[in-house]
Amino acid sequence: MAKNIYFASDFHLGSPTYLESRKREEHIVSWLNFIEPNCSELFLMGDVFDFWFEYKTVVPKGFIRLQGKLAQMSDSGIKIYFFKGNHDMWVNDYFTEEMGIEIVSDELIIERNNKKFYLHHGDGLGPGDAKYKFLRKIFRNPFCQWAFSMLPPRIGLFIANGWSGSSRVASNKKEEFLGEENEWLAIYAKEQLAKQHFDYFIFG
């Protein structure tokens, strides 16, 4: 029997409080238990965590239930992809080494059942948002990541979690559809369609 592929994103685990995040994590694991029997591939489309940074021997505390479930699914043969989002762009090789998860830094193009998919977290695509695009280049710069890793984990994670929280609050406004001519991702999708055919665009 053919199995399904699933897409999910923006869990933002770690925010806004420990208890709320823990409850959300339990719901996510419950959902993963539900889909597992019919799942062949799982695409986590970014911002799974509200913040994530991997030191050489240190990763953020918590989220062990989700990690354990993902490891178990991967061990059972389910292919899992983890897209870097704007909140967890500093994922490195921990999930690959420990859970066999494939990390996707930007776009991924796949074909399934004769349908072509364009996959991306969606941050920084299309026109506009010049400030974020500039910051994204800085945050993804290997030297900047190395420099941040020189901070002791307790200090580095404290600073980063504070920044992540302020970023989320600043962007936590009611979203309204502005029409295809004004939505950045719609504009970007049309630009890609002018170059090649896609059946689906999926963003985080």
How far is it, in rounded angstroms, from Cα 49 to Cα 84?
A: 10
pLDDT of residue 164: 65
Instruction: Compute the mean pLDDT over every residue in the chain, rounded to the nearest whole number.
Output: 88
- For residue 172, is pLDDT > 60? no
pLDDT of residue 167: 57
Token couple for 76: 């059972």
Say if strands 115-120 and 108-112 run parallel, antiparallel, or are unpaired: antiparallel
Token couple for 92: 């490195």
CA neighbor of 204 nearest in space, from 76, 57, 81, 85: 85
Residue 11: what residue type?
Answer: F
Higher pLDDT, 132 or 67: 67
| 58-117 pLDDT, tens digit each | 898 999 999 999 999 999 999 999 999 988 888 989 999 999 999 999 999 999 999 999
131: left (phi over 0), alpha (psi -120 to 50) or beta: alpha
Residue 42, classed as helix, strand or coil, is strand
| 149-168 pLDDT, tens digit each | 788 888 877 777 776 665 55
pLDDT of residue 170: 47
Q: φ and ψ at 87, to 5 degrees?
A: -100, -20
Domains and CATH numbers, the chain: 4-203 (3.60.21)
| 187-204 pLDDT, tens digit each | 999 999 999 999 999 998
